[in-house]
Structure formats: structure tokens, C-alpha cells
Amino acid sequence: MTTLSEKILTEAESEIESEAESQAEIEESTEPGPGHPAEQPSPVLAVRDVRISDRAGDREIVHGVSFTLTPGSAVGIVGESGSGKTLTCRAALGILPAHFEITGGSVEIDGNDIAGLSPTRWTDLRGATISAVFQDPASYLNPSIRVGAQIAEVLRVKKGLKRRAAHRRAIELLRVVHLRDPELVHAQYPHELSGGMLQRVLIAVAIAAGPRILIADEATTALDVTVQAEILDLLADLRERTGLALVVVSHDLAVVAQLCDEVLVMRRGEVVEQGPTRDVLHHPRHEYTRLLIAEHEQYGLEKFLAPAPEEDA
């Protein structure tokens, strides 16, 4: 019987090859003429040598993380619990826990250095430029308010829509995240929905204001394997259709293999390996990365880490 890891990595290999061929054709047809170098898209998120410290314990927790995101790209961050994955993402969102602070490096969101952002400016950016989806979606939804009204509230605050327009758009967003019978779901309370449905609702809330960046922090961890695959397909679809840039935090290499162009492997607050996902999966350099891959082998992952094409001598 084919496992989820097998299915994901098989599809990921095919998608990577197909995307590479398509990109090569595009680049060939749009290659700039002499004297007209190709313009690289500006990053929507730039994390440069970020260090995070715990003031209470007087110690550095995250030691110099760097990556950039351009529109439509996806970066994965993998590692064990306590490796600094979530702290790095919370730093980018400006929501570090009490006693934690950025003590080195910089974070820029759409060209804005977050170090100088006022609370009002942060309010403007969150949801409209950068948004997030976390594990356990029920914790982030108000149990006493229908889910449609919660989406509509974001639309009215962030987009300035009137009540009726917000109602219509909320139903459209529920349809966008592939919920069956969105009109019915719109009128339901969180406790009436399954975990997978709640995660789709939370994604609808997160993308309601049209952000350019979405951080998915262990967004599929608590879901069964079938629903997990559907949520990953949804994120990939949003990325392709809207140019949404993704930061995918997971302990599962198979999840990152399906969605991400680049991967950072973190351990004890340090990036021990970083590079294109295909290269890291096929040619891991660090012992810890090799250990992560080896741990997946018991689920059949090794069958889909087929040898990379040999390079010409």
C-alpha cells in the first residue's frame, strides 16, 4: 500500500521536473537582448542573519537565520521541536513571546525593516501583506461566532467592504479553499466542523485581505493523512494562481518536498544545511539532515529519493 510520504515525494519529483522544463521554456522565449539584463523580482520577505535571544535566561536561542522569499516562491524550514523554526517565523510576524527579542540581523517585509515599525504599521501589514496559519485551527477561531462572520470581519476591517459585499466575498473565499457547500459552512460554528474543514476556514481567513506572504507553521501536523494531502494541494494551488509566497514550517521532509523550492534544516537554533530542496534531499551534506532522511525511510521515503541524474564528466 502506498504511504503518504511515497505519494507526496513521487508527485513532488514529477512536479519539480515539469516546472523546471516549463521555466526553461519561459526563460528561453523571454530571454532579454544584449544590454538588457533580466530583472530579478524584489523579495517580499528578507530574513538576514536573524538572532533571537531570551532576555530572562540571558541566552541566544536562534543563531543567524537567513533566507529570502520572492513572489510565488516557497521556503521550507524543517527540524525537531525546539530547533527555532517557530521562533524565526514569529519574529517575522512581530509576535515573539514575552522576554524574547531580535538581537541581531534584520527582517524586511515588502521592503520595510520591521525594527522601525509602529504598532499601527504592524496592524496594517498583518493580514494584508503577511499572514499565517498555525496548528490547531480551533484555537484561533472564536467558538461563539459563525465562521462566515469571522471571515467577513477581516474583510470589513482590512478591505473596507460593506456588510453585504463582505458576506458575498466570505462565501467566495470558502469556495476558493475547496469547501463543499460554502453557503452552509458560512453559517456554521467552529465546533460543527471537522479539523480539516477548520484548517480550510483558517486559510480563508488568512488570505482574505490578499497577503503576499503566508506562513504555514505545522499547518497539517494534526490532520489525518488524506486531509493533509488535500491541504498541501490547496496551498500549492494558491501559490500557483495568486503568486502567494510561502514559508512552510514542518518536521516532515515529505511536506517540504511537495511545496518548497528551498529548504532550511534547523537544529538547536542553527541552520545546519540550506539549499534547493532537490539538492538537499538527494545530496545531504550534514549528518543531521541525513538522519532526518533516514528516519523517513521506514515509511518508504527512500524509494522516492531516486538517484539524481548524473552530471556530465
The pLDDT, as a whole number, for residue 33 is: 54
d(CA 248, CA 232): 10
- Average pLDDT value for residue range 262-290: 93
Q: Answer whether 259's CB lies under 8 Å from 248's CB.
A: yes
Please give the model's pTM, rounded to 2 decimal places.
Answer: 0.81
Q: 116 Cβ partners below 8 Å, 6+ apart?
A: none
Question: Residue 303, class by beta-carbon neighbours within 10 Å (0-12 exposed, 13-18 middle, 19+ buried)?
Answer: middle
Under 8 Å between Cβ of 151 and 204: yes
Average pLDDT on 110-138 reads: 92
Q: What is the mean pLDDT of residues 134-149?
A: 92
Arch. (CATH architecture) of 43-304: 3-Layer(aba) Sandwich (3.40)
Looking at residue 221, its pLDDT comes to: 77
Is 137's pLDDT higher than 90?
no
Strand pairing category for 45-54 and 59-69: antiparallel
**In sequence order, what are the residues at sequence separation of 6 or more whose Cβ sits closer than 8 angstroms to the Cβ of residue 296?**
5, 253, 254, 302
pLDDT tops 80 at residue 112: yes
Lay out the sheet containing 112-113: strands in order across: 59-69, 45-54, 100-109, 112-113
Place of cell 453557503: 183
The pLDDT of 52-79, averaged and rounded, is 94
Section 76-83 average pLDDT: 91
Higher pLDDT, 298 or 170: 170
For position 9, what pLDDT does the model report? 45
The overall average pLDDT reported for the chain is 85
Q: What is the pLDDT of residue 312?
A: 54
How much is the average pLDDT of 194-223? 90
For residue 214, pLDDT beyond 80: yes
Q: Are 197 and 224 in contact (CB under 8 A)?
A: no
What pLDDT sits at residue 40? Answer: 74
Largest CA distance in the chain: 65
Going by pLDDT thresholds of 50, 70 and 90, the confidence category of residue 136 is: confident
Q: Is the pLDDT of residue 313 over 50?
A: no
Pairing of strands 245-250, 213-217: parallel
Confidence of residue 295 (pLDDT cuts 50, 70, 90): confident
DSSP string, 232-301: HHHHHHHHHHH--EEEEEES-HHHHHHH-SEEEEEETTEEEEEEEHHHHHHS--SHHHHHHHHHHHTTTG
Q: What whole-number percentage of the chain has pLDDT above 90?
A: 61
List the chain domain ranges: 43-304
> Is pLDDT at 7 greater than 70 in this prediction?
no
Chain segment 20-57, per-residue pLDDT in tens? 454 444 344 445 555 555 567 889 999 999 999 999 88
Q: What are phi and psi of 202, to 5 degrees?
A: -65, -35
Residue 69: exposure state from Cβ atoms within 10 A (0-12, 13-18, ≥19): buried
Whether 311 shows a pLDDT value over 70: the answer reads no
Residue position matching grid coordinates 499572514: 131
**Among the listed residues 149, 238, 130, 235, the one whose alpha carbon sits nearest the alpha carbon of residue 190:** 149
Q: Is 130's pLDDT higher than 70?
A: yes
End-to-end CA distance of the chain: 39
